[in-house]
């Protein structure tokens, strides 16, 4: 296995500051320090993402609470955690205000947005959603979305071409993976994070880079739902050169977020 020893940033973590935001259905809730220790034990140096919990979509209050939790975690663990925030397409005014508030605090990442958890399905390209996405683009934010409808992804990328979008998860089967990679290759502003199913498909990352380019693929795990060590090991095992591996593990994330220090 390749012994890559450079920086690894997980772009798709769901930190759980409390039991309500704990999204592992098999293990009991553990404290945030133990969650971070697990990621570090897997070889991950820093992580980004948003706390999630089930919301009914009836008000914006729950969304703002999750964002406040993310900001508080950033303040507690500034050397480890890049906060991800939430928006809600059914509350465009509140969402745009939240983007402005959080951008002023240095936040550069929105998501992973999980519509079925937040009470809005896959409304990423409705007129209200597009208003929010334009605000995100204006503030240089990256948006990570969970979306199975690739027509919605197409529309979002066409309507807001300046927005950097990261499509969560490569998909499970060959057809799903290739269809997603075709979309990533087709849109200059669309990227893929490797979290979720697909890492067990040997050659998935190699194929992703061949089809879409080394600058379009980001490392992510979807921890604590998934075992982060599986993703570190799987990515290290793929047939990538050192430049590709560095781009995957941290370089692409840093560049998209304006944090490229290399």
Contact call for residues 221 and 195 (beta carbons, < 8 A): yes
pLDDT at 2 over 70: no
Q: Sign of the C-alpha dihedral, residues 147, 152, 153, 157? A: negative
| Single pTM value for the model | 0.96
Is residue 262 one of the residues assigned to a domain?
A: no
Question: Does residue 2 sit within a domain?
Answer: no
- Does residue 189 lie within any of the structural domains? yes
Residue 261 has pLDDT above 50, yes or no: no
- Report the candidate in 243, 164, 171, 165 with the shortest Cα–Cα distance to residue 204: 171
Domain that holds residue 190: 10-256
State pLDDT tens for residues 17-34. Answer: 999 999 999 999 999 999
Q: What is the CATH number of the domain that holds 178?
A: 3.20.20.140
Cα–Cα distance for residue pair 50/106, rounded to 1 Å: 15
State the burial class of residue 193 (Cβ atoms within 10 Å of its Cβ: 0-12, 13-18, 19+). buried
CA 205 to chain centre: 17
**Does residue 5 belong to any structural domain of this protein?**
no
Domain assignment of residue 171, yes or no: yes
Convert the pLDDT of each residue in 218-246 to its tens digit: 999 999 999 999 999 999 999 999 999 99
Domains held by the chain: number: 1
Q: What is the mean pLDDT of residues 115-128?
A: 96
Strand duo 217-218 + 190-193: pairing: parallel
In a domain, 216, yes or no: yes
pLDDT tens figures, 169-227 = 999 899 999 999 999 999 999 999 999 988 999 999 999 999 999 999 999 999 999 99
């Amino acid at each position: 296995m390749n012994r890559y020893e450079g920086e690894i940033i997980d772009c798709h973590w769901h930190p759980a500051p409390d039991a309500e935001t704990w999204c592992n259905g098999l293990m009991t809730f553990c404290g945030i320090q133990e969650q971070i220790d697990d990621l570090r034990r897997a070889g991950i140096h820093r992580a980004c993402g948003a706390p999630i919990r089930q919301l009914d979509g009836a008000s914006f209050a729950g969304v703002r609470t999750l964002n406040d939790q993310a900001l508080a975690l950033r303040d507690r663990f500034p050397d480890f955690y890049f906060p991800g925030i939430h928006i809600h397409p059914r509350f465009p005014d509140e969402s745009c205000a939240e983007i402005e508030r959080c951008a002023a605090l240095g936040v550069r990442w929105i998501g992973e947005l999980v519509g079925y958890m937040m009470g809005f399905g896959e409304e990423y390209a409705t007129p209200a959603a597009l208003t929010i996405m334009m605000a995100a683009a204006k503030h240089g934010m990256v948006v990570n979305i969970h979306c199975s409808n690739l027509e919605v992804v197409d529309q979002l990328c066409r309507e807001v071409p300046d927005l950097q979008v990261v499509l969560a998860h490569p998909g499970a089967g060959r057809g799903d993976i290739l269809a997603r990679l075709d979309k990533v290759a087709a849109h200059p502003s669309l990227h893929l994070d490797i979290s979720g199913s697909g890492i067990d498909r040997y050659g998935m990352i190699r194929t992703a880079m061949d089809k879409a380019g080394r600058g379009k693929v980001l490392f992510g795990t979807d921890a604590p739902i998934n075992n982060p060590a599986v993703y570190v090991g799987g990515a290290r095992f793929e047939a990538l050169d050192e430049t590709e591996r560095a781009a995957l593990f941290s370089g692409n994330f840093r560049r998209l977020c304006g944090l490229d220090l290399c």
